[in-house]
Amino acid sequence: MILSTSATHIINDMLQGELAATETYQQALAQVGKEPGADDLRGVHVEHREAANRLRRFVRDLGGEPSQSSQTWGAFAKAVEGVAKLFGNTAALKALKTGEERGAANYQQALTNEHLPAEFIEYLRASLLPQTRAHIEVLDRILQSASSS
């Protein structure tokens, strides 16, 4: 299935976001160790890695070359690492939540993009968007738990 380069560009952009999320969660996990919520963060990290792999396949199926790095999204990952070192885990968790909210907004907006194939739109609707919203809920729960301790 070969579609417009616009579709591959859009999906590659999402792939870069997932790669940045993977990097960011990896860095956050190095900071949280065995603290409450660490297992939840590991699960979210795995889901981002799986989403990146799925997005790579979509780009290849469209005849494109998948991004290999987070590129500009990687700056977000570096910022989270710096914030975590300076201000502790709560600030890092809030930064992770901001990243998830940005991802959810991007996915929501993409649902109406006519350049994207129907199969990809269905993947967004059935998997990526609900998963990202669930990540926000996980982070909210961890933040709530951290603020009450």
pLDDT in tens, the chain (149 residues): 444 678 999 999 999 999 988 988 887 887 777 777 889 999 999 999 999 999 999 999 999 999 887 665 555 555 555 555 544 677 778 888 988 999 999 999 999 998 899 999 999 999 999 999 999 999 999 888 877 76
Say how many domains are in the chain.
Answer: 1
Rounded distance, CA 148 to CA 53, Å?
36
For 21, 64, 65, 67, 112, the CA distances from 135, given in Å and listed in that order, are 11, 29, 28, 23, 23
Rama region for 88: left / alpha / beta (φ>0; ψ in -120 to 50; rest): left
Q: What is the CATH number of the domain that holds 94?
A: 1.20.1260.10
Phi, psi of 142 (to 5 degrees): -65, -45
What is the CB neighbour count within 10 angstroms for residue 132? Answer: 27
DSSP state of 69: S
| Paired tokens of 7 | 């579709």
- Give residue 115's domain range: 5-148
Tell me what pLDDT residue 1 has: 43
Query: Would you report the helix, strand and coil content of the chain in percent, each value rounded to 5?
Result: 80, 0, 20
Using alpha carbons, select from 55, 17, 21 the residue that is nearest to residue 138.
21
pTM above 0.75, yes or no: yes
Tell me what pLDDT residue 32 has: 74
Q: What is the pLDDT of residues 74-85, one digit of tens each?
A: 555 555 555 555
Find all residues with CB under 8 Å of 147, minimum gap 6, and list them: 90
What is the CB neighbour count within 10 angstroms for residue 108? Answer: 14
Tell me what pLDDT residue 30 has: 79
Tell me what pLDDT residue 2 has: 43
Rama region for 64: left / alpha / beta (φ>0; ψ in -120 to 50; rest): beta
